[in-house]
């Protein structure tokens, strides 16, 4: 029973250590022994494998983005946010918008 507890505690400690180093591992910024330690944990840990796979996809997606944004990107985003802020429960008045109209009465 104690061995099982120790094994579980060791796994949790390795899990925490690995989790905070996955980005550095992916970037190739870890020393060889630390990279081996990450690989040894990621093999049996489905959660860390999933996190590493997600990080890889995110980095690949970011690399695929355009390097330069078009000049009209900023104003377009701002206008969309303004339209979304004027949802069905927002009423326009001279002051700041409110999330809900005041009760009539």
Residues 38-69: pLDDT tens digits? 999 999 988 889 989 998 888 888 887 766 66
Q: Residue 33 has what pLDDT?
A: 96
Q: Residue 25 has what pLDDT?
A: 93
Per-domain boundaries in the chain: 2-63
pLDDT digits (tens, 9 = 90+) for 65-81: 766 666 666 777 778 77
Q: Residue 97 has what pLDDT?
A: 46
Sign of CA dihedral 35, 41, 42, 44: positive
Q: Residue 66 has what pLDDT?
A: 65
Chain-centre distance for alpha carbon 46:
18
Listed in sequence order, the residues at least 6 apart from 47 whose beta carbon sits closer than 8 Å to its beta carbon are 15
DSSP letter for each residue of 25-88: HHHT-S-HHHHHHHHHHHTT-HHHHHHHHHHHHHHHHHHTS-SS--TTHHHHHHHHHHHHHS-T
Pull the structure tokens for residue 48.
């860390």
* Closest-CA residue to 21 (of 34, 11, 12, 33): 34
């Amino acid at each position: 029973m104690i061995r099982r507890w120790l094994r579980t505690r060791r796994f949790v400690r390795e899990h925490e250590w690995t989790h905070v180093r996955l980005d550095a591992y992916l970037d190739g910024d870890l020393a060889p022994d630390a990279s081996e330690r990450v690989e040894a944990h990621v093999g049996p840990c489905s959660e860390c494998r999933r996190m590493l796979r997600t990080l890889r996809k995110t980095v690949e997606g970011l690399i695929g983005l355009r390097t330069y944004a078009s000049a009209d990107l900023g104003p377009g985003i701002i206008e969309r946010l303004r339209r979304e802020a004027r949802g069905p429960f927002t009423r326009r008045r001279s002051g700041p918008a409110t999330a809900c109209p005041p009760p009539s009465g």
